Amino acid sequence: MEFSNAQEGLEQFNRRIAIAGGFVLICFTLLFARFVWLQVIQHDYYQTRAEDNRISLVPIVPNRGLIIDRHGEVMARNYSAYTLEIIPTQVANLEETIDGLAEFITIEAKDRKRFKKLLEESKRFDSLPIRTRLTDEEVARFIARRFRFPGVEIKARLFRQYPRGAFASHVLGYIGRITERDLGQIEEADVEANYRGTDHFGKTGLERHYEMELHGTSGFEQVEVDAGGRAIRTLARTAPVPGNNLTLTIDVKLQEVAERAFGERKGSLVAIEPATGGILAMVSMPNYDPNLFVDGITTADWRDLNESPEKPMVNRALNGAYPPGSTFKPFMALAALTTGKRRPEQLLADPGFFNFGGHMFMDDKKGGHGMVDMYKSIVESCNTYYYVLANDLGIDNIAKFMAHFGFGSRTGVDIEGESEGVLPSQAWKKKRFKKPEQQKWYAGETISVGIGQGYNAYTPIQLAQAMATLANDGVMYRPHLVNHIIDTKSAQKTYIEPQPLRTLPLKQEHIDVIKQAMVGVNQEGTGARAFKDAGYVSAGKTGTAQVYSLKGTKYNRDTVKQELRDHSLFIAYAPAEQPKIAVAVLVENGGFGSQAAAPIARQVFDYYLLGKLPPGAAPADEAAREADE
């Protein structure tokens, strides 16, 4: 192949120049088509994507609602403090950064541990606190060195505070940092958007139950951000709506009197206003300091609380199920009257025992109480009377009657995780046990149920509710802790209207018999010593619940190990003529009801009805002031 002719070569060259020109035009047309596609046809899509790039919605966390007692004292509030926070994704070497910060800001080992724990737990790796509650000086020191620490920032955050510390801890519960489990609940409630900026979540108690009320509505800022996520300017802002405030039925000073009355002892107390079901005090001892949880509890504190044999984290009022012991007797007596099995004046000769098929059920009094009518059976707490009665009634009649009073079913109080307790019946036993020989109900088992022993197990709140219902002549209310919710924006109050759950099918004359006997208990019976010179007429019933099955050996308070000692119980209401307060008190391993539980009820009644503080107790106001500081 060869081009001898220069002219021919030139023509070929010019042809190829033309081809090249055509090629260029085709390529440019192609590009132009692409531009039309992107800029005209797909413009809206890319416009949106550019806006999404540019505009970031930054949530503004609302102030959490306050929790206030019935007299207006704040039990849970917020305060603002500076925190030193690290954004782990923006920090190359966390250890080095923290070491660097520690050079001029106190960072203790526990802070590091807590940070590590947060890092592991937290699903949202946005910003985690390494130190909370910085002093002004620490803030200044950090700001001077800020440039050295990209990904570290100072934030002003609101912290939850429980001014009275451990008092009422089981009522209030606590908040803690959101965990994955909480996220599940947030998703379930379909409120993810509202929780986008929120770090904390109610874990237990009222903080948990009323989480959605207390949280409020997040506001947000439309912020223009650059590619690094740095905010350039604010485009728009929607203010957050603070969470609603809760006003409780709880009287915080009464609560404190009750908790102090327990001292070092374990146990529970629930005080209810019979006419409304409003809970005046709900105690579970030992208590704990909910403030520990707010910034993320340290591993050591958590271990202490969880592994303590005293189980301070268990809310005994709702989750402790105890045999009611003799506090069951008034209800048994009422069952006997209602079913017509007994008349009040009907007498029983008590020889000190009840022989059932060769098994001896012993009375607590040697030789027996002699001739016993219903009044005496309650005032003196005669066991034999109830052994016989239980046998006459039969277990299923007992169960049917007791169910009316709420025994063995959740009260529906406004705190999560309440236990059901055990109301024994043939059906219950069948369900409870697997082996056929265990499923059978034995008539002998009914007899111990009659004195509140055996399979019986109820929570203190169930006992208190039953007591309140009896005091209220059979009109039953759902026990509740919140009186009303205050909408912080409109100041509108939403009352938790005390709707009667039901009116029990009881005859007033029967109720009066029982009430009279219970008044007798506090005047001349087992509660008389505790209520000596009370200045008001009260009604009550003591109880002692066996923890330990004696099996023939004699129970001796001094030789039995502390944790095997009997629980001491007391139910009561006052004033007798127009009940304003009903309580159930349980002192774990406290021995006789009259010794441990009844005096606590006395202190609570004295304060609530007379404003009288027990001798030696610090005035409630002063304690509150201490906690404030």
Partner 1 sequence: MIRELWAKFVAPIDGPLMVFLGLLILLALITMGSASPARLTTLLAHLAIALTVMRIVAQVPPQRLMYLALPIYVVGVLLLVGVALFGDISKGARRWLDLGFIRIQPSELMKIAMPMMLAWYFQKHESMLRLKDYAVATLILLIPVALIVRQPDLGTSILVLSSGFFVIFFAGLPWKVMFGLGAAAATAAPFAWTLLHDYQRQRILTLLDPEKDPLGKGFHIIQSTIAIGSGGLFGKGWGEGTQAQLDFLPERHTDFIFAVYSEEFGLIGNFILLVIYALLIGRGLLIAANAATLFSRLLAGALTLIFFTYAFVNMGMVSGILPVVGVPLPFVSYGGTALVTLCLGIGILMSIQKNRMLVQK
Provide the binding-site residues for partner 1, judged by CB under 8 A.
1-4, 6, 9, 12-14, 16-17, 20-21, 24-25, 27-28, 30-32, 34-36, 38-40, 42-43, 45-47, 49-51, 53-54, 224-228, 232
Task: Give least dist CB 87 to partner 1, A.
Answer: 17
> Rounded CA gap, 480 and 276, in Å?
9
* Spatial CB neighbours of 577, under 8 Å, sequence gap ≥ 6: 537
Nearer to partner 1, 38 or 403 (CB): 38
* Nearer CB in complex with partner 1: 42/106: 42
Catalytic residue among 169, 218, 284, 326: 326
Please report how many Cα atoms fall inside a 13 Å half-sphere around the Cα of residue 177, on the Cβ side: 18
Q: Which bin fits 278, alpha (ψ -120 to 50), beta or left (φ > 0)?
A: beta
Question: Based on CB atoms, which residue is closest to partner 1, 17 or 550?
Answer: 17
Distance CA 478, CA 273 (A): 11
Closer residue to partner 1 (CB): 54 or 113: 54
Q: For the beta carbon of residue 563, count every other beta carbon within 10 angstroms.
A: 11
Closest separation in Å from C-beta 222 to partner 1: 14
Question: DSSP strand E in 116-242: where?
Answer: 128-131, 152-161, 175-177, 200-202, 219-225, 231-238
Q: How far is the CB of 54 from partner 1 (least distance, A)?
A: 5
Instruction: Tell me, yes or no, if 326 is annotated catalytic.
Output: yes
CA distance 174 to 191: 20
The residue (of 31 and 443) whose beta carbon lies closer to partner 1 is 31
CB-nearer residue toward partner 1: 20 or 193: 20
- Specify whether the CB–CB gap between 161 and 77 falls below 8 A: yes
Q: What residues contact 447, with CB distance under 8 A and at least 6 apart?
A: 354, 356, 361, 387, 390, 391, 454
Cα–Cα dist 232/401, whole Å: 70
Q: Give whichever of 22 and 619 is closer to partner 1, judged by the CB atom.
A: 22
Q: Which helix (H) or strand (E) holds 276?
A: none
Output the smallest distance, CB 11 to partner 1, in A. 10
Token reading at 284:
């579970």
Pairwise CA distance, residues 136 & 120, whole Å = 30
Based on CB atoms, which residue is closest to partner 1, 23 or 79? 23
Which residue shows structure tokens 């009649």?
397
Rounded to the nearest 5 percent, the helix, strand and coil shares of the chain are: 40, 20, 40
Shortest Å, Cβ 420 to partner 1: 52
Q: Kindly state the smallest distance separating residue 219's Cβ from partner 1, in Å.
A: 24
Contact 538, 574 (CB under 8 A): yes
Minimum CB separation from partner 1 for residue 36, in Å?
7
Q: Could you tell me the smallest distance in angstroms from the CB atom of residue 58 to partner 1?
A: 16
Residues 372/378, Cβ–Cβ less than 8 Å: no
Cα dihedral 6→12→15→19 (10° resolution)? -140
Active-site residue list? 326
